[in-house]
Chain A
Amino acid sequence: MDTTVAPTGTEGQTWGGGGSNPLKASYGKMMMWFFILSDALTFSGFLAAYGFSRFKFIEEWPIADEVFNHFPFMHGTDAPMFYVALMTFILIGSSVTMVLAVDAGHHMDKKKVSFYLLLTVIGGLIFVGSQAWEWKNFIAGEYGAVKTKGGKILQFTDAEGARVALNEFVTVGERPVEALGNNEGIWYQSDDPIGSTYTIDEVRKGFAANPDLRIRTQVLQVDAETGASHKTMLSRKSLYLN
């Protein structure tokens, strides 16, 4: 028997493809292949655009190990890329349960189909939820940094190169702000809560008071010995901040 064309119960219907089987594939299967092709091209577009951005900002791009280092329910633990890896395995698991559902369907086993589809849906929800959680953490950040007028980012580290958060060494000073009462303010206007941002003078003072702090720029440097890339650290003597 012809292995590639299986009757699908759509013979004679509009979407049945008229009974001709070009390239020995049923109408539905061939259209599914072309859908997969167009889907692959869509996602290639996304990924190539990501590659474009990375090549454009090859030096400024954050180090992935430092950005995606959270793991749910393990606050404060440095787990670089572990959650990303876990999501990959959840994705593989969902593909497996989906194929098992299809396989059970071929055997007309309704119970197994429902069960495996339920597992697939749960896997999908965990995956999408994980993405949302991870990006929320990523966007919020946790250390803070200084942005120069030219748009560059300066990060602070200790002598060993580990990141230091701004709130660990900067003291928030007085702010010349006045709170507006209920009848003076405009309901849709608000400021950041006091203490959520720092002035450059406050950062400068905090930096001068902590001789162990270092500043890291965005520029990539290649280690001559190991060949690994890392961000450039400024020496304290080169800084006017002292």
Chain B
Amino acid sequence: MADHAAHTDGHAEHKLEIFRGLVKFKSNTQKIWGGVLIFLSLITIVEVALGYIKPDSLNGHILGLKILNWIFIILTLVKAYYITWDFMHMRDEVSGLRRAVVWTGVFLIIYLIAILLVEGEYIYQVYKNAAVSFDF
């Protein structure tokens, strides 16, 4: 039981504020409801609303990508950051462990996406311009 008591104490020291102290919660349970449920739901509601309305004003392109898609990507990254940092307590780890996990993931995911999307675009051009039937 002593072990379990120490365990409880260790967890009581998780930070109760999020967004660098902008919002502070009274207890861990409140933080779960306020942070996880409300914050993640808010972002998702914005995403769903934008995806449903698809405002014409967001159809312009920045760096070859629709503004609407930029908004989705950025909101998704915000979610991923929040979930990893706070929900999974990544910020309580030492910087070595943080970097080992985050940079490995970031590098490999960007690499994978870049390679596959470039390749996909290339095959699209072949389909479009080559004189072969479509479903060879």
Contact = CB atoms under 8 A, between A and B. Distances in A.
7 contacts: A4-B93, A23-B93, A23-B94, A41-B108, A41-B112, A55-B124, A88-B44
Interface residues of B, number: 53
B64 to A, nearest CB: 13
B29 A100 contact: yes
Contacts of A49: 116
B133 A227 contact: no
Contact of A89 (B44, B93, B134): B44
Contact residues of B: prevailing secondary structure: helix
A45 B7 CA distance: 36
Given A6-B7, A40-B105, A226-B59, A58 B124 contact: yes
A108 B32 contact: no
A36 B56 CA distance: 38
Contacts of B18: none
Nearest to A79: B52
Given A37-B104, A45-B112, A81-B52, A96 B36 contact: yes
A188 interface: no
Interface in B49-76: 51-52, 54, 56, 59-60, 66
Contact of A37 (B87, B105, B134): B105
A152 to B, nearest CB: 6
A228 interface: yes
Interface in B79-102: 87-88, 92-94, 96-97, 100-101
Closest 9 pairs (CB-CB, A-B): A55-B120, A227-B59, A151-B135, A151-B134, A6-B10, A23-B97, A226-B56, A52-B116, A52-B120
Contact residues of A: prevailing secondary structure: helix
A108 B4 contact: yes
A2 B108 CA distance: 32
B71 to A, nearest CB: 15
A227 B116 CA distance: 26
Contacts of A36: 88, 101
Interface in B100-117: 100-101, 104-105, 108-109, 112-113, 116-117
Given A53-B120, A152-B134, A4 B59 contact: no
A6 B97 contact: no
Nearest to B126: A56
Interface string A134-157: 000000000000000111100000
Contact of B56 (A54, A56, A228): A228
Given A6-B6, A30-B97, A51-B116, 20 more contacts: A3-B10, A5-B10, A7-B7, A24-B97, A33-B101, A41-B112, A48-B109, A51-B117, A52-B116, A52-B120, A56-B127, A59-B124, A92-B37, A92-B44, A96-B36, A103-B29, A151-B134, A152-B134, A226-B56, A227-B66
A107 B8 contact: yes
Given A4-B93, A58-B124, A106-B7, A44 B52 contact: no
Interface string A6-18: 1111000000000
A133 interface: no
A92 B104 CA distance: 26
Contacts of A4: 92-94
A184 B101 CA distance: 65
Contacts of A93: 37
